[in-house]
Amino acid sequence: MITSIANAAGSYIRSTPTNPSRTTFTPADALPAAGADAGTPAENAKSGIPVSTLKALDASGLKIISVKDNPELRDLMATNWLRMQADEATFAASVPDNAPQNTYATVKVKGKIVATLYNGGSVAMTNEAAAKTGDLQDPCSPNGGPDLAQWRAERIAKAVGGTIEKAPTAIAQSEWTPRQSTSTNYSRAQLDAAFDAMMAEQQKAAAQQSAGYPGRPGPSGSQADFSA
């Protein structure tokens, strides 16, 4: 490594030693030769900032801004929190579209099921059946439901040369209730309440975490501010 640096600098000038078997190096050997260009690596290495001249950053004029003082960030956090809560509630309370109790019909070929359709209109099929069927987008039933399931069942059965067997759990279109989409338009009161609830959750989680480490006191005078 040292040899390569020296070669790159091109500034190591020494007289021929009188005794080739003993060569003595001095600190002067590491200095650039007189008249060397200022842009050489050796010169650049000496142009750094001395550590003694560095000064600590004065933080006395800095101001900690709370999230509450940033309306856009505050509302964005509250909106995401509300969406997460709604998604969790929907997932916990609803039955999946492809649950057995939501089966609308099956398509069979020689007694073997090649496709299963559900009341919401979704379908699961074998790769072979899918390759023969192609597009399953019904322009007449874009919103799904049993009507879409029936249309798809007929299309699949025709493509694979199979038969349709209606399931006992099949329902009519009038009995089907579409899944409610999550609203993203929240009122001022909803956003404010969501933000307060989110902060309360974080404070509770922090308190529980701290309680798990009873033998670990924090720094003197330290405190946690979850509003910032």
| pLDDT tens per residue, range 94-141 | 677 888 999 999 999 999 999 999 999 999 999 999 999 988 877 766
Q: What angle do CA 12, 18, 24 make, to 5 degrees?
A: 50
Of all residues in the chain, the percent with pLDDT exceeding 90 is 28
Q: How far is CA 57 from CA 54, 61, 62, 222, in A?
A: 9, 10, 10, 21
16 vs 53, residue with greater confidence: 53
Where do runs of H (alpha helix) occur along the chain?
2-9, 41-45, 71-93, 127-133, 146-160, 188-211
71 vs 11, residue with greater confidence: 71
At 180 the three-state DSSP class reads coil
Of all residues in the chain, the percent with pLDDT exceeding 70 is 61
Range 43-47 average pLDDT: 59
Mean pLDDT rounded to a whole number for the chain: 75
- Tokens representing 17 are 């030693």
Query: How much is the pLDDT for 33?
Result: 58
Query: How much is the pLDDT for 26?
Result: 61
Q: Does the CA dihedral 91-95-100-103 come out positive or negative?
A: negative
Range 45-67 average pLDDT: 73
Instruction: For residue range 151-193, list pLDDT tens digits in order.
Output: 999 999 999 999 999 999 999 999 988 876 656 688 888 888 8
- The pLDDT confidence band at residue 4, using thresholds 50, 70 and 90, is very low
> Does 197 score more than 90 pLDDT?
no
Range ranked top by mean pLDDT from 43-57, 109-123, 195-209? 109-123
The helix (H) or strand (E) run that includes residue 165 is strand 163-166
Query: How much is the pLDDT for 56?
Result: 80
Neighbours of 115 (CB within 10 A): 26
Neighbours of 152 (CB within 10 A): 24
Neighbours of 159 (CB within 10 A): 18
> What is the spatial distance between Cα 110 and Cα 113, in angstroms, rounded to a whole number?
8
Beta bridge partners of 125: 115
Cβ density class 162-182: b for 16+ within 10 Å, e for less? bebeebeebeeeeebeeeeee
Helix axes 71-93, 188-211, angle to 10 degrees: 80
75 vs 224, residue with greater confidence: 75
Determine if the pTM surpasses 0.75: no
